[in-house]
Structure 1
Amino acid sequence: MKRSHAVAGSAVLAVAGIATMAMATTATAAPAGATATYNGACGGDYRVVNSVPVTGKGTVYLTYSAKTGKNCVVTVRNSPGTPTYMYTYLGPTDGSSDPVFDSGEYTSYAGPVYLPAKGVCVDWGGTIETVSVSVSGSNCGRMAAGAVTHR
């Protein structure tokens, strides 16, 4: 399920002719210096295999599912709040397919984006506001010290 770009104040739902009022909750800003944690946006079968900080803004997470053989990337803000420009991308280093990306004005994260990547090196990264990071030629299916393999 994709999250909305902005938080609604309230919504009215009609169920079997009975109206129910539901108030949306507002996100609480993280304390100064807090680091974004992976939010599970890629799905239950995906495990974090790499990450890179977006200095002072958040973190980009590269995940992998052994079940599907796909990588997934999501860029997560340290402090959800007012919609701001975010971008996340993932592509094969060898150019065997087009990169996938997501961008827009988001309150907490950009993505997820998925790519079949069993045994394939990937390029990935993200942007929050004007701060961008990228990683090239990583997670090629080989076990690195302390890393999760995805063969």
Structure 2
Amino acid sequence: MRFTRSTLTFAALAGVLVATPSALVTPAVAFPDATPQGVCGRGYATVNSMPVGSLGTVYLTYNSSNGQNCVATIRNKPGRAVDMSVWIDVPDTGNAAQDYGQYTSHAGPAYVYGKGHCVNWGGHIDNRYVQVYNSNCALREHRVTFTR
């Protein structure tokens, strides 16, 4: 039996498609690092958080072995890219960090050294903003939420 080149090409392509159907399917969960520890890294424990309405949460984490704070804004339902941000600053030292852009699942990480200091932090998803001042210290914490 003789095969033409187009018949062999079709048979090879059909074999690849049958053998690897998962290559054509996008996984339902494509955001394995969308947890505070996944975004910030090993050794970081969540010490505070604030919901961004029903859209997600901004997390403040701390690593006791290096004195670093990390913040991450994580969406509840990843999807199309939207404006997101995260920021943190230590007023006593002037150290600050931020991340801003269009993201599908999370903004961050942003790191500062904060051992023994109050920290200010916050973030946003789409048009909802949250800010926390005098956090994780002896001062009274102040929380702000607004929509733009």
Same fold (TM over 0.5): yes
Asked whether 1:119 is paired with 2:116, we answer: yes
- Bigger relative CO (Cα 8 Å, ≥ 6 apart): 1
Among 65, 85, 88, the residue aligned to 1:87: 85
- 1:11-90 counterparts in 2 under 5 A? 25-27=26-28, 38=36, 40-90=38-88
Matches of 2:24 and 2:109 in 1, distance apart? 26
Percent identity between matched residues is 48
Matches of 2:69 and 2:90 in 1, distance apart? 10
Aligned pairs, number: 114
Deviation at 1:27, TM superposition (A): 4.2
- For structure 2, which runs of at least 5 residues remain unmatched after alignment? 1-22, 140-148
TM-score, scaled to structure 2: 0.69
CA contact (8 A) 1:93 1:136 kept: no
Residue 13 of structure 1: aligned partner: none
CA contact (8 A) 2:37 2:45 kept: no
CA 1:51–1:106 in 2, change beyond 3 Å: closer, same or farther?
same
Residue 133 of structure 2: aligned partner: 136
Residue 101 of structure 1 aligns with an amino acid whose one-letter code is: Q
Deviation at 1:40, TM superposition (A): 2.2
Residue 61 of structure 2 aligns with an amino acid whose one-letter code is: T
Deviation at 1:24, TM superposition (A): 7.6
Residue 127 of structure 2 aligns with an amino acid whose one-letter code is: T
Matches of 2:24 and 2:44 in 1, distance apart? 31
Matches of 1:85 and 1:120 in 2, distance apart? 30
Residue 57 of structure 1 aligns with an amino acid whose one-letter code is: L
CA contact (8 A) 1:54 1:127 kept: yes
Residue 110 of structure 1 aligns with an amino acid whose one-letter code is: A
**CA RMSD of superposed structures (Å):** 2.4
CA 1:23–1:91 in 2, change beyond 3 Å: closer, same or farther?
farther
TM-score, scaled to structure 1: 0.68
